[in-house]
Amino acid sequence: MRIGELADQAGVSTRALRYYEEQSLLSPRRTSGGHRFYPETAVDRVKLIQELYTAGLGSRLIAELLPAIDARSVGPELLDRLLHERTRITTQVDELQAAGQRLDVLIGLATYPDTEPCPASLDGDLADTAGRKTHRRCRP
């Protein structure tokens, strides 16, 4: 199939497919006229690449990981890198959850009027509101 057909079937842009090729994630055959030609299996490959990007992996790691996935064998070095990536992503998730809790405190402070003073720290207020729906608006 041609690049436009693959893009349509995989739900990505042709630009993304060209980028995947530049990153050695896809290897289309070329016609005598220089046009890219992809096998039907490329649709699943592109979807896998998208899932790996969504999982937070970079193109270099994905390029190393794809042959291991094809071989159904991940060596110890690659496994260590994947474990490191999982730790990095878990840390990011924790940081985003804490940021969301801080926003909840701010929303609560703006939503429910009261005469309490403003908190010195949103983190300190998190402990007060973690298990309760009581939020307060602060006075300056």
User: E strand or H helix at 10, and its extent?
Assistant: helix 3-10
Q: Are 76 and 37 in contact, with CB atoms under 8 Å apart?
A: no
**Helix 59-71 crosses helix 42-54 at what angle (to 10 degrees)?**
130
Instruction: Write the pLDDT tens digit of every residue in 50-90.
Output: 999 999 899 999 999 999 999 999 999 999 999 999 999 99
User: E strand or H helix at 58, and its extent?
Assistant: none
Residue 16, burial from CB neighbour count under 10 angstroms (0-12, 13-18, 19+)? middle
- For 29-52, what is the mean pLDDT? 94
Q: What is the rounded distance in angstroms from the CA atom of residue 94 to the CA atom of residue 2?
A: 42
Q: What is the rounded distance in angstroms from the CA atom of residue 94 to the CA atom of residue 52?
A: 20
- For 106-126, what is the mean pLDDT? 69
Q: Does 139 or 48 have the greater pLDDT score?
A: 48
The answer to whether residue 25 scores a pLDDT higher than 80 is yes
- For 109-123, what is the mean pLDDT? 70
Q: Which residues contact 31 (CB under 8 A, 6 or more apart)?
A: 37
The model's pTM: 0.71
Cα end-to-end span (Å), the chain? 65
The answer to whether residue 8 scores a pLDDT higher than 80 is yes
